[in-house]
Structure 1
Amino acid sequence: MTDVEIHTGDIRLDQFLKRAGEVPSGGAVKGLVAAGRITRNNVLETARRRKLVPGDIVAVEGGGTYRVASV
């Protein structure tokens, strides 16, 4: 699991996965969500613009697992 630091109180899922280096653009997250390849806190994610807060854990099937960390 990799910690990804954010400098705000929350961050959108698409922005977070870009920051983590998992996707080249926020738009790429749309396809991952549609394919059911992303979970947040072990629950299938259905919205690419979902707000994440520190402590949330995001996993991408076939990719990495990341924890939202505050600075």
Structure 2
Amino acid sequence: MTVQTFALDPGHDFVELNQLLKLTGLAGSGGQGKALVASGEVRVDGSVELRKTCKIRAGQMVTLGGAAIRVEAPR
């Protein structure tokens, strides 16, 4: 499994799940990200997440297929 890190923007506590998938390149658009979440393919901290705009915060891990994203605090 490939793990990439994503640092939140300064001044932001979270990123919405569908936007995280888009920003990291796992989805081509926010709409595609929403579809991936709705299909049940996305996990947050090991549990299936069906809320498309779920707030993902520093310290959480998002997985999709063989890819994982570790979210970090702003730098």
Moved over 2 A (4+): none
Quote the offset at 1:17 in angstroms: 1.1
Q: Which residue of 2 aligns with 1:2?
A: 4
Aligned partner of 2:41 among 37, 41, 46: 37
Unmatched 5+ stretches in structure 1:
none
CA distance in 1, matches of 2:20, 2:45: 14
RMSD: 1.1
Quote the offset at 1:59 in angstroms: 0.2
AA of the residue aligned to 2:53: R
Quote the offset at 1:44 in angstroms: 0.3
Unmatched 5+ stretches in structure 2:
none
Count of paired positions: 70
CA distance in 2, matches of 1:18, 1:32: 11
CA distance in 1, matches of 2:22, 2:37: 14
Quote the offset at 1:34 in angstroms: 2.1
What is the TM-score with the length of structure 2 in the denominator? 0.85
Aligned partner of residue 65 in structure 1, secondary structure: strand
Query: In percent, how many aligned pairs have the same letter?
Result: 29
